[in-house]
Amino acid sequence: MAVITISRKFGAGGKTLGEMVSEKLGYTLYDKELIQMIAEKAKVSENGVEFIEKEARGKFGIFISDMVPKVIADLKGKKKSEDTIDEEVYIDVLKDIFTKIAEEGNAVIIGRGGQYVLQNKKDVFHVLATARKEDRTKFLVKKYKLSLKDAIKAVELDDKKRMNLYRKYGRDDYDKPLVYHLVLNTSKIDLDSACELICELVQ
């Protein structure tokens, strides 16, 4: 009945790792599905949820560590939805959804500050996937078929956004090992081995 949250630096393979772990353990994966769940509960459009996740401003910033990467979309820009969800409502809805997921168990949550929202919950394991900048860039080129130029820009944009966001709200531990049960450097360990380590930890 465990839950695994996976935080990651953009391009470190965290999303792919989450997919691998959920498949191996038979767990439910919560990634893009969360957008739909939040939209339904808050009675707004999915576009409205996506916009506020991209903006990551206000109180929302405290919880949004390692949100689902919108960096590639950010390169092209995204217009504000007419029914954008209020930041405080978003936080309340997100916390409620995460709590229910934790109660049901057998789940993998990708990003969105799960390591903070569920930090004191029993049987919840927090994982951070990280890697060198050059390796993250190479991963994006291979995985998402980006040009090298766009991959470099995407990594730099995401790194800067995360750093500035957490400085503004007084959090500087989003990449610190003490927040997590397990920190995986995918520059030094392949995703298959990383998946095995997470599964061993949970089991």
pLDDT confidence bin for 164, thresholds 50/70/90: low
The SS3 assignment for 23 reads helix
CATH of 12-198, one of 3.40.50.2000, 3.40.50.300, 1.20.200.10, 3.40.50.1980: 3.40.50.300
Question: 150 and 137 in contact (C-beta within 8 Å)?
Answer: no
Q: Which amino acid is at 158?
A: D
- Mean confidence (pLDDT) of the chain: 82
CA dihedral sign of residues 4, 115, 98, 158:
negative
Ranges of each domain in the chain = 12-198
Name the token pair of 200: 């061993």
Least confident range of 112-116, 150-154, 187-191, 197-201 = 112-116
Name the token pair of 158: 């995401």
CA dist 181 → 122, 134, 140 (Å)? 13, 25, 26
pLDDT confidence bin for 107, thresholds 50/70/90: very high
Q: Which amino acid is at 169?
A: Y
Q: Read off the pLDDT of residues 4-20 as tens digits, 9 standing for 90 and up.
A: 999 999 999 999 999 99
